[in-house]
């Protein structure tokens, strides 16, 4: 019947990424799937047996999706023969834990370097040429000009994707990251003879045209250098030429790898990046990665890449998220600094309305209750978001969520968001009456669940509520604050916050040490 047909069609539908009302969504089995993610440490996924301890540990932390490397040298130990045993076991254990995976293809490059290329590739510098330093020294970095290298990276990646198509009917694997934090480390540009020749030749007309057609929308960093009247790279891109040249090279190479994979199995594919720190020069950070400054070059060249995603270790978390959004990317953070991740996550899901967040080195967190009786805060965040369930993606798509994060060293002491006719202003929690800071970090996600009713997930903030003057000139007040927990389809009240715990009804005062879910009812008169 028709209904049956619809079910079969749905089961075969591949995961896909979309923007919905300004929110980012990953559609899995026909509905939005929120990735409560975590990326494994680099040496945590190389052996089969590690899956048996690592994945149950992650599941116990409420992680629903693990970001797991797949290393080219392990996949293709001898040229042309592939070994999927480690991967197959990880997929099988993930299924048993009811978890999903995002695979990270550590192929020609991982953090600039080519450590994960097979030994037989690394040993043959003639067939698989290296990038070179200014003095001609070969680097531990495969050159983007290696035609055989590209051919074999494509072939191995295609073999991986074909294997997934055949063996992963349940779609345990949701997406694939192609390579990892690419770019040339050490110098701004590959100085091999072939690279120098290309650098001194004409910039491809297709690239110049693509950038010219976006003239009004170019990032300030690209616009400052772009001169379409020039001919060679130096003339067209001025002081940015070295890096834009590398950007073009990596974009073309990686797009070709992604294309070979998609021909086998068209999962969403994205690229991550090591972000430049302020005042760093290309080469100090990997030169030619898809960071925001020159990302439009990737967008002009790499049509098989679905989106770009930042690894955010720097303090300006919101700034980097916004720069990626401004370029049209859905919000997914494949790597984030673990120590501040519980706070930044609430911004990513609440304010940026992202579909996923993933602290790096997640497996290093202690097991529930093992840290002086405490559950890791990251686990508490994911636990709370899990309780919000389908309410959260629905509210994201309806523009009914907000979020904020504050640190003792933040440039701003107060942050304000507007939702449902009210302004919510958060400051870091302080003691009474001494007024000393009770915590260095605070954050919250606010979700409007009904008129005048809000679920607030967070920790460490004191929140004042005012009427949003853009809505009307009424006066706002707090009707009730309850700490709640999910029970079945409804909510159980664990405690009502009154008196000293609500500053006499005037403030939401969050626990400075635990992530909690508050249901706040407001009124205006």
The residue ranges that bind ligand N0T (CB under 6 A) are 42, 111, 180-181, 274, 311, 313, 335, 360
Comparison of 87 and 392: residue with beta carbon closer to ligand N0T? 87
Beta carbons within 8 Å of 249's beta carbon, 6+ residues apart = 144, 145, 190, 195, 198, 288
Distance (Å, whole) CA 92 – CA 346: 31
Looking at the DSSP bridge assignments, the partners of residue 447 are 401, 455
Distance (Å, whole) CA 220 – CA 231: 21
If DSSP codes are grouped into helix, strand and coil, which group holds residue 232? Answer: strand
Question: To the nearest whole angstrom, how small is the minimum distance from the Cβ of residue 239 to ligand N0T?
Answer: 23
Comparison of 177 and 507: residue with beta carbon closer to ligand N0T? 177
Comparison of 181 and 242: residue with beta carbon closer to ligand N0T? 181
Question: To the nearest whole angstrom, how small is the minimum distance from the Cβ of residue 77 to ligand N0T?
Answer: 22
| Chain-centre distance for alpha carbon 390 | 21
How is residue 393 written in tokens?
């993606």
Question: To the nearest whole angstrom, how small is the minimum distance from the Cβ of residue 128 to ligand N0T?
Answer: 22
How many C-beta atoms surround the C-beta of residue 60 within 10 A? 15
Distance (Å, whole) CA 481 – CA 437: 23
Distance (Å, whole) CA 41 – CA 363: 7
Distance (Å, whole) CA 278 – CA 316: 10
Comparison of 152 and 312: residue with beta carbon closer to ligand N0T? 312
Buried-exposed string 27-46: b where 16+ CB fall within 10 A, e elsewhere: bbeeebbbbbbbbbebebbe
Comparison of 239 and 280: residue with beta carbon closer to ligand N0T? 280
Report DSSP state, residue 375: P
Question: To the nearest whole angstrom, how small is the minimum distance from the Cβ of residue 243 to ligand N0T?
Answer: 17
Report DSSP state, residue 81: B
Question: To the nearest whole angstrom, how small is the minimum distance from the Cβ of residue 313 to ligand N0T?
Answer: 5
Looking at the DSSP bridge assignments, the partners of residue 178 are 105
Cβ-contact 66, 93 below 8 angstroms: no
Question: To the nearest whole angstrom, how small is the minimum distance from the Cβ of residue 364 to ligand N0T?
Answer: 11
Beta carbons within 8 Å of 189's beta carbon, 6+ residues apart = 195, 199, 242, 243, 245, 246, 287
Question: To the nearest whole angstrom, how small is the minimum distance from the Cβ of residue 440 to ligand N0T?
Answer: 21
Question: To the nearest whole angstrom, how small is the minimum distance from the Cβ of residue 144 to ligand N0T?
Answer: 19
Comparison of 42 and 108: residue with beta carbon closer to ligand N0T? 42
Comparison of 311 and 441: residue with beta carbon closer to ligand N0T? 311
Comparison of 84 and 313: residue with beta carbon closer to ligand N0T? 313
Distance (Å, whole) CA 276 – CA 263: 33
Question: To the nearest whole angstrom, how small is the minimum distance from the Cβ of residue 448 to ligand N0T?
Answer: 36
Comparison of 180 and 380: residue with beta carbon closer to ligand N0T? 180
Question: To the nearest whole angstrom, how small is the minimum distance from the Cβ of residue 286 to ligand N0T?
Answer: 9
In terms of Cα–Cα distance, which of 468, 349, 353, 348 is closest to 420? 468
How is residue 455 written in tokens?
């679920």
Comparison of 25 and 287: residue with beta carbon closer to ligand N0T? 287
In terms of Cα–Cα distance, which of 499, 483, 510 is closest to 429? 510
């Amino acid at each position: 019947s028709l209904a049956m047909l619809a079910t079969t069609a749905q089961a075969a539908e591949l995961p896909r990424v979309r923007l919905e009302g300004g929110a980012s969504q990953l559609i899995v089995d026909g509905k939005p799937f929120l990735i409560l993610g975590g990326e494994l440490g680099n040496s945590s996924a190389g052996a089969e047996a590690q899956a048996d301890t690592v994945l149950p540990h992650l599941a116990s932390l409420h992680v629903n999706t693990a970001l797991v490397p797949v290393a080219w040298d392990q996949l293709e130990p001898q040229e042309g023969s592939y070994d999927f045993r480690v991967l197959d076991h990880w997929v099988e254990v993930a299924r048993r834990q009811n978890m999903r995976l995002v695979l990270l293809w550590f192929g020609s490059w991982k953090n600039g370097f080519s450590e994960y290329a097979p030994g037989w590739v690394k040993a043959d510098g003639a067939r698989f040429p290296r990038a070179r330093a200014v003095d001609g020294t070969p680097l531990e970095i495969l050159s983007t000009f290696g035609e055989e290298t590209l051919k074999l990276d494509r072939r191995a990646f295609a073999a991986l994707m074909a294997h997934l198509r055949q063996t992963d009917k349940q779609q345990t694997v949701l997406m694939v990251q192609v390579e990892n934090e690419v770019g040339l480390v050490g110098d701004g540009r590959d100085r091999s003879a072939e690279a120098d020749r290309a650098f001194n030749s004409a910039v491809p007309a297709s690239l110049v045209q693509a950038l010219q057609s976006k003239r009004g929308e170019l990032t300030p960093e690209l616009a400052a250098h772009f001169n379409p009247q020039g001919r060679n790279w130096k003339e067209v891109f001025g002081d940015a030429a070295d890096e834009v040249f590398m950007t073009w090279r990596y974009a073309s190479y990686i797009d070709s790898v992604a294309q070979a994979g998609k021909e086998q199995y068209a999962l969403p594919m994205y690229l991550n990046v090591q972000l430049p720190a302020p005042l760093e020069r290309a080469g100090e950070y990997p030169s030619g990665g898809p960071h925001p400054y020159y990302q439009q070059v990737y967008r002009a060249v790499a049509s098989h890449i679905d989106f770009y995603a930042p690894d955010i270790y720097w303090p300006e978390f919101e700034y980097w998220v916004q720069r990626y959004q401004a370029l049209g990317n859905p919000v997914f953070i494949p790597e984030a600094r673990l120590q501040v991740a519980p706070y930044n996550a609430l911004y990513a899901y609440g304010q940026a309305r992202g579909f996923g967040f993933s602290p790096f080195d997640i497996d290093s967190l202690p097991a529930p209750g093992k840290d002086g009786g405490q559950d890791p805060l990251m686990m508490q965040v994911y636990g709370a978001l899990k309780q919000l369930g389908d309410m959260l993606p629905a509210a994201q798509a309806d523009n009914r969520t907000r979020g904020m994060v504050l640190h003792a060293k933040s440039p701003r002491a107060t942050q304000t968001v507007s939702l449902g006719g009210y302004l919510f202003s958060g400051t870091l929690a302080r003691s009474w009456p001494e007024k000393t800071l009770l915590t260095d970090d605070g954050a919250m996600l606010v979700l409007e669940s009904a008129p005048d009713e809000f679920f607030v997930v967070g920790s460490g903030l004191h929140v004042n509520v005012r009427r949003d003057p853009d809505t009307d000139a009424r006066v706002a007040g707090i009707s009730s604050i309850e700490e709640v927990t999910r029970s079945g389809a409804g909510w159980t009240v664990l405690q009502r916050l009154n008196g000293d715990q609500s500053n006499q009804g005037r403030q939401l005062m969050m626990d400075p040490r635990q992530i909690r879910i508050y249901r706040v009812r407001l009124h205006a008169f």
